Structure 1
Amino acid sequence: MAITILADSACDLSEHYYNEYSIEMIPLTVHLESKDYRDSVDIKPKTIYDAMREGQTPKTSQASANQFKEIFTSYAEAGKPLLYIAFSSELSGTCQAAKMVEQEIKEKYPEAKLHIIDSKCASLGLGLVVLEAAKMAQKDISFDEIIQQTAKNAAQMEHIFTVDNLEYLYRGGRVSKTAAFVGGLLNIKPLLHVDGGKLIPLEKIRGTKKVLKRMIEVMEKRGSNFQNQTIGISHGDDLPRAQELSRMIQDTFHVKEENIIIEMVGSVIGAHSGPGTLALFFYNK
């Protein structure tokens, strides 16, 4: 029986991937100007970035238990297998909400083939893990094998990123006030990564130009076999810099352009990272 992959909107994949690989999606919520919007359904990331540039502070909230209950119940009743690959539990309560509903559903439908993976990933790092799982599902690989490989893929996914303004991460409680102030004052660009599902600062780099070069260096140190994997780049409404990073990867590691996916950071994650964010995702050694 066909296995369905469920993702949430924090994976920052474009709609055509959902359609091509029959991926189900649950949207998180963005609050802007006293209105609620479903991420990637009712609002585009560009709207969020423009609002932030004008001084507005969008807020976000996790997917609700009711959203999960509806979709989990429909699959359990139909006896169809469903694998939900969740946004890092260290960055959102979405995964926890899903796990609570999972327990409830399995009490009522003990035979339900329903599984949740806390990916500890975010943005296109999560997106790449979701895509690999969906490709496996299309090849009729068994449910248990997909779960096992997906957990391994998630654990090996590197997130290397920088932000244009630390103030946004400070507002979202992701960095200290002192770090945000000093960074802005000295034109310091932080390089961060995701470790154990959390955002962890790696180093501080002065000036934008040096950041891209340093991202390539970190990529070379941590990863390998780049020609045989899909590499992800996501950006906070800064396509030219994302394309520049893509060219550097192609030149340095002899990666084909078609093996690099470039997406805009979605509304939910973008509301915390801000315009000018640039992130790089690849499988490590």
Structure 2
Amino acid sequence: MSPSVAVVTDSTAYLGAEATGRWNVTVVPVKVILAGHEIDDVTPFDAGLLAHALEGRSPVVTSRPSPERFAEAYERAAAGGATEIVSVHLSGALSGTVDSARLAARGAPVPVQVVDSRSIAMGLGFAVLAAARAAGAGAPAAEVAAMASRTAAASDTVFYVDTLEYLRRGGRIGRVANLLGSALSIKPLLRLADGEITVLEKVRTASRALARLEDLVVEEAGERPVDIAVQHLMAPERAETLMKGLTARLPRLVRMWVLEIGPVLGAHTGPGVLGVTIAPGAAD
């Protein structure tokens, strides 16, 4: 029997078809326009093309889903038997996606609670999974939405980028860029805090930054049970090295995810990004 509360999210959660299928999560795609070609964030893509476009300064623009796309998702959920919907999305400080969801919710055939996760990637993904587990257990929509919000608030995302250039181009890092000035040798460690990107630490070399990233995750995880997601773009070796290091150093690791982000987030971070989301450990 399907849950009476349907869970909807957007593709920047990067959960993958297996997880969304298992937990009955509907995904509305965010899109990127790459040199005039529209790419759906849930469709397999060639990361090399994105890197080439970014390096060549070809136009790369991300595009939020229209309210009509969300309306279609809500109508399908209602037609499938849902009596309520919880729609969980990436930070409203980074995208207008949550605004589109709210507009669509006004005309939905069943009540819709829209949650701004104040996060992105698996910071959003873990919140969506928590909501889906609650819905699957029969929780009402208010409880499902609260679970998503609590999980997002209890999660932390720290990340490294090879260069701030792409974040600067996209207007996602104005205050951070001012803090760092023009010191091109700086390798920043960044944090997604309350929906916005902030500077965590400034390190002189990539190798030191990556080692410090691992240390920061271990410090943040502490002795509590945690789920960890290592996320990258065109940096599988870095991701594997970090995954192995964290697995060895986290005694209460519940589950480890390793995934490559899609073009929408990648358009803002550029290739080489390596990030980690730490969330409260949850049994599947």
Fold match by TM threshold 0.5: yes
Structure 2: unaligned runs, 5 residues or longer: none
Deviation at 1:4, TM superposition (A): 2.0
Q: Would you say 1:248 and 2:250 are equivalent positions?
A: no
- CA distance in structure 2 between the aligned counterparts of 1:123 and 1:180, rounded to whole angstroms: 25
CA contact (8 A) 1:167 1:180 kept: no
CA contact (8 A) 1:234 1:278 kept: yes
Q: Deviations over 1:200-220 (max 9, x none)?
A: 112211111212232233224
Deviation at 1:144, TM superposition (A): 2.7
- CA distance in structure 2 between the aligned counterparts of 1:88 and 1:168, rounded to whole angstroms: 18
Aligned AA (1:275): P
Partner of 2:270: 274
Secondary structure of the structure 2 residue equivalent to 1:36: strand
Q: 1:209 aligns with which of 207, 210, 218?
A: 207
Partner of 1:94: 97
Equivalent residues, number:
276
- CA distance in structure 1 between the aligned counterparts of 2:240 and 2:272, rounded to whole angstroms: 13
Name which structure has the greater RCO, CA cutoff 8 Å, separation 6+: 1
- CA distance in structure 2 between the aligned counterparts of 1:131 and 1:284, rounded to whole angstroms: 12
Aligned AA (1:174): R
Aligned AA (1:98): A
CA contact (8 A) 1:123 1:266 kept: no
Output the TM-score relative to the length of structure 1: 0.87
Q: Deviations over 1:37-69 (max 9, x none)?
A: 221226454542343345434211111111012
Deviation at 1:241, TM superposition (A): 0.6
Structure 1: unaligned runs, 5 residues or longer: none
- CA distance in structure 2 between the aligned counterparts of 1:276 and 1:132, rounded to whole angstroms: 29
- Aligned residues: CA RMSD: 2.4
- CA distance in structure 2 between the aligned counterparts of 1:54 and 1:20, rounded to whole angstroms: 40
Q: Deviations over 1:152-183 (max 9, x none)?
A: 11111101011111111111112346667734
Q: Would you say 1:71 and 2:69 are equivalent positions?
A: no
Identity among equivalent pairs (%):
26
Partner of 2:114: 116
- CA distance in structure 1 between the aligned counterparts of 2:115 and 2:40, rounded to whole angstroms: 23
Mapping for residues 19-98 of structure 1, pairs under 5 Å: 19-41=21-43, 43-76=45-78, 80=82, 81-98=84-101
CA separation of 1:22/1:253 partners in 2, compared to 1, >3 Å: closer, same or farther? same
- CA distance in structure 2 between the aligned counterparts of 1:284 and 1:191, rounded to whole angstroms: 22
Deviation at 1:119, TM superposition (A): 0.4
Q: 1:130 aligns with which of 128, 131, 136?
A: 128
Partner of 1:161: 159
| Most deviating of 169-178 and 263-272 | 169-178
Aligned AA (1:281): T
Partner of 1:149: 147
Secondary structure of the structure 1 residue equivalent to 2:138: coil
CA separation of 1:150/1:104 partners in 2, compared to 1, >3 Å: closer, same or farther? same
- CA distance in structure 1 between the aligned counterparts of 2:183 and 2:256, rounded to whole angstroms: 30
Structure having the higher helix fraction is: 1
- CA distance in structure 2 between the aligned counterparts of 1:241 and 1:35, rounded to whole angstroms: 30
CA contact (8 A) 2:232 2:273 kept: yes
| Most deviating of 194-203 and 133-142 | 133-142
| Most deviating of 246-255 and 173-182 | 173-182
Secondary structure of the structure 2 residue equivalent to 1:164: coil
Partner of 1:264: 260
CA separation of 1:131/1:70 partners in 2, compared to 1, >3 Å: closer, same or farther? same
